[in-house]
Structure 1
Amino acid sequence: MPNWQPRNTKRARSLRREATPAERALWEHLSRSQLGAKFSRQMPVGPYFADFLCRELKLLIELDGHSHDVAPERDVTRDQWMAENGYTVMRFTNAEAKDNIEGVVQAISAKIEDLRKT
């Protein structure tokens, strides 16, 4: 029998309310299935929270700010857990999302197409 654990929805709501400007800008492009895939914000995935998650394709989009520069080993551990559990992780910096949102959106769109082919 699987070991069921309740979701930490309180924490997820808090993360959504406290979204960075970069996360808000990217959400404008990911919401309402605009790229042909349904994304959710700040979703629990195992012991982590994904900035954006497409459950169907097991695709996580992460926007990294200053905290990721301070402890990059956390991202390595997290990405390894995600890969072991069948998730694809795409990482962009907040600066990329702010300065080149169209490029970020195009890269995500291309990854969605690629994952649909496999």
Structure 2
Amino acid sequence: MQRTELPNMFYGAKRTIFQNAALLRKNMTLAEKKLWERLCKNQLGVRFKAQHPIDIFIVDFYCHPHRLVIEIDGKIHLSQKDYDEGRTAELERFDIAVLRFTNEEILHDIDRVVEKIKMHLKQNPC
């Protein structure tokens, strides 16, 4: 699907969401830091933003041209599956794809995680 015009990359996020995102960028988890080391500086050929505001949410990583969110799920996510599913559905309403990985996947098999991201980017060109 080729897009000719992309919407604003923040989808109407309010100032407080931007402030909270800045705090989260300063306090990334170990898994977030490890994945960010592989996503930053266009290493995959596209720009990702860390702790990015979208509407009422702050997503872990976002690539606007590909409309791709990457979320990292820690142990807390085991008890909030309904919330995560609803959040994903809301993001998909904006025609944004969501890839989810666990902390363990990132900490123990980062190469496989990066390959899955690359595959998604290749299969869903902007």
Q: How many residue pairs align between the two structures? A: 115
- Point out where structure 1 has 5 or more consecutive residues left out of the alignment: none
Q: 2:57 aligns with which of 25, 48, 51?
A: 48
In the superposition, the TM-score normalised over structure 1's length comes to: 0.91
- SS in structure 2 at match of 1:63: strand
Q: 1:18 aligns with which of 21, 27, 30?
A: 27
User: Once the two structures are superposed, what CA deviation does each residue of 1:40-70 show, in whole Å capped at 9, x if it has no partner?
Assistant: 0001111111100001111000000011111
Kindly indicate whether residue 107 of structure 2 is the aligned counterpart of residue 98 of structure 1.
yes
Change (3 A) 1:5 1:101: closer
Change (3 A) 1:100 1:47: same
**Could you tell me which amino acid in structure 2 is paired with residue 18 of structure 1?**
N
Q: 1:61 aligns with which of 61, 64, 70?
A: 70
Distance 2:62 2:81 in 1: 21
**Could you tell me which amino acid in structure 2 is paired with residue 25 of structure 1?**
K
- SS in structure 1 at match of 2:60: strand
1:5 Cα deviation after fit:
5.3
Q: CA RMSD in A?
A: 1.6
Report which of the two has the higher share of helix: 1
Kindly indicate whether residue 24 of structure 2 is the aligned counterpart of residue 27 of structure 1.
no
- Point out where structure 2 has 5 or more consecutive residues left out of the alignment: 1-11
What percentage of aligned pairs have identical amino acids?
Answer: 33
In the superposition, the TM-score normalised over structure 2's length comes to: 0.86
Q: Which has the higher contact order (CA 8 A, sep 6+)?
A: 2
Kindly indicate whether residue 14 of structure 2 is the aligned counterpart of residue 6 of structure 1.
yes
- SS in structure 2 at match of 1:36: coil
